[in-house]
Every structure is written in C-alpha cells, then in structure tokens.
C-alpha cells in the first residue's frame, strides 16, 4: 500500500493485459487432456449425465437437466462458439472423443487480469479420480503461466457443499458469501466466492504436482497422502 499525504492507495501494478484463453488450446496431463468442446461430444457425454440417476448433477447448474439428446447437442453447439464462457471438454488421454467432463473459463477480464473457472460438469467416471484434480491443475496453470492472469476465481452456490470443499482442497481461499446474489431456476442463490492469486500459485502448483505424481498412488489407485498434506 502506498503511503502519501491524503488517502491510502494500492500498490502500482503492471498494466499489461492478460491474454484471452484460446478455444483451440490443448492441455495435456498424465490422466486427462483439455480440448475444445464440440457438439460432437454430445453423443458420448449425454448418456453419462442424463436420466433420473444423474439428475442430481444438475441441481446447482444454471441449465439442465436435459431429457432430449438433440436439445443437449444444441446446447453444446452454442457452447462451442461461445467466447465468454469459453468451454472445454475433459477427455481421457488417447481419445479426444472420450469425454468425461466439461469445464470453462468465464468472467474473463484481460484488463484486470482476472478470470474464473466454472460450469464444471463431471461424469461419475471422472469424479474423485486423479484426472478430476489434474483437469483443474491444467486450467489453473494455463491461466497463470501462459495467459498472465493474477486472479483466478471459483464461485458456487453456497449450498453446494461438495464444490465448496473442492475449492478449499485445490488451494482457493474463501472470500465470503454474496447474499441473494442470483435467481437460478426460480430459486434464490447465495454465492460463495473463492480465489487464488498469482503469488500463491507456485506453492499451490508444487502441492498439486506432488499429489498427482504416480508414486502417490498405490497399485489400486488409492492416494497415499491427501492433497492438503503437500501444502
């Protein structure tokens, strides 16, 4: 904080712009790869996130659930050409059509170098796997190291306990709750806000990479140490 006669002022920062995320970027990990979302992914993904057994996946989403695969395909087609949010498919390594999840960047502010990750939809095949964590690692690394953002946000419905736990586990800091923030599907939504910032990223990155290392998993794929233990 700058000190001068009068009001206190924040520190001077670079006015360089961050870059907008590319729709065609390819982020390759050990378990999953992030690729551009396409309407063609609907055929493989719709069975994983449709039906009564998967209705709960949509409880905190802004859209869905979808009872018609063609309506879902049209939704992915609209997402494919969207520039904010920018949508990606999370695919298993080795097959770009083997989609197991969707993620996006949104609230993209290159001038202020702030960006949010959201619209996460993980199939049962991806949930609670190393690939689920790796997808978030790959997107955070791209935002901080390649695009030049200084603030990375996570927001969720304040009633969404799994999402709130995930944010803290990944290294985000809780910033508070915006009360009566939105009306979603005719219901009130209080929103929990989380962030990580650029100076925190190196330590968060080291913890994520240590947790994702294959030596941290036994022959049955179970973790030896929790992610929090590496921080």
What is each CA distance from 138 to 6, 123, 221, in whole angstroms? Answer: 44, 18, 20
Closest CA to 27 of 90, 78, 121, 109: 90
Given a contact cutoff of 8 angstroms between Cβ atoms, the answer to whether 119 and 106 are in contact is yes
Average pLDDT, the chain: 96
Neighbours of 1 (CB within 10 A): 6
Work out the angle between the directed axes of helices 130-141 and 201-212 (0-180°, nearest 10).
150
Structure tokens at 186: 């005719």
The pLDDT value recorded for residue 1 is: 59
Please report which confidence band the pLDDT of residue 6 belongs to, taking 50, 70 and 90 as the band edges. Answer: confident
Whether residue 32 is predicted with pLDDT greater than 70 in this model: the reply is yes
Measured CA to CA, the distance from residue 202 to residue 196 in angstroms comes to: 11
The pLDDT value recorded for residue 175 is: 98
> 189-214 pLDDT, tens per residue?
999 999 999 999 999 999 999 999 99
DSSP 67-136: S-HHHHHHHHHHHHT-SSSEEEEEEETT-TT-EEEEEEEEEEETTTTEEEEEEEEE-TTTTTSHHHHHHH
Structure tokens at 37: 């979302």
Neighbours of 99 (CB within 10 A): 26
What residue has token string 């992915």? 76
Closest CA to 209 of 149, 143, 130: 130
Please report which confidence band the pLDDT of residue 219 belongs to, taking 50, 70 and 90 as the band edges. Answer: confident
Structure tokens at 172: 């985000």
The pLDDT value recorded for residue 3 is: 60
Please give the average per-residue pLDDT across 67-81, as a whole number. Answer: 98
Please give the average per-residue pLDDT across 45-63, as a whole number. Answer: 97
What residue has token string 């330590």? 203
Please give the average per-residue pLDDT across 25-46, as a whole number. Answer: 97
> 131-168 pLDDT, tens per residue?
999 999 999 999 999 999 999 999 999 999 999 999 99
What residue has token string 């939504």? 189
Q: What residue ranges do the domains of the chain occupy?
A: 27-230
> 95-144 pLDDT, tens per residue?
889 999 999 999 999 999 999 999 999 999 999 999 999 999 999 999 99
Please give the average per-residue pLDDT across 32-46, as a whole number. Answer: 98
Measured CA to CA, the distance from residue 108 to residue 135 in angstroms comes to: 19
What percent of the chain is predicted at pLDDT more than 90?
93
**Domain 27-230, what fold?**
Aminopeptidase (3.40.630)
């Amino acid at each position: 904080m700058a000190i001068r006669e009068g009001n206190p002022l924040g520190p001077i920062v670079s006015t360089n712009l961050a870059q907008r995320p590319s729709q065609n970027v390819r982020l390759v990990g050990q378990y999953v790869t992030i690729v551009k979302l396409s309407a063609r992914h609907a055929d493989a993904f719709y069975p994983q996130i449709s039906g009564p057994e998967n209705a709960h996946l949509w409880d905190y989403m802004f859209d869905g659930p979808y009872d018609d695969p063609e309506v879902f395909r049209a939704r992915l087609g609209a997402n494919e050409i969207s520039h904010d949010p920018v949508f990606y498919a999370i695919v298993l390594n080795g097959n770009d059509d083997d989609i197991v999840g969707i993620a996006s960047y949104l609230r993209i502010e290159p001038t202020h170098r702030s960006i949010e990750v959201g619209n996460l939809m993980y199939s049962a095949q991806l949930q609670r796997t190393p690939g689920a964590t790796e997808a978030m690692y790959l997107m955070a690394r791209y935002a901080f190291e390649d695009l030049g953002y200084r603030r990375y946000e996570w927001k969720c419905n304040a009633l969404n306990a799994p999402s709130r736990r995930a944010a803290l586990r990944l290294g985000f800091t809780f910033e508070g709750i915006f009360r009566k923030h939105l009306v979603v599907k005719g219901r009130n939504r209080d929103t929990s806000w989380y962030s990580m910032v650029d100076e925190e990223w190196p330590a968060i990155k080291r913890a994520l990479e240590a947790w994702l290392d294959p030596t941290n998993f036994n022959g049955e794929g179970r973790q030896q140490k929790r992610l929090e233990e590496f921080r």
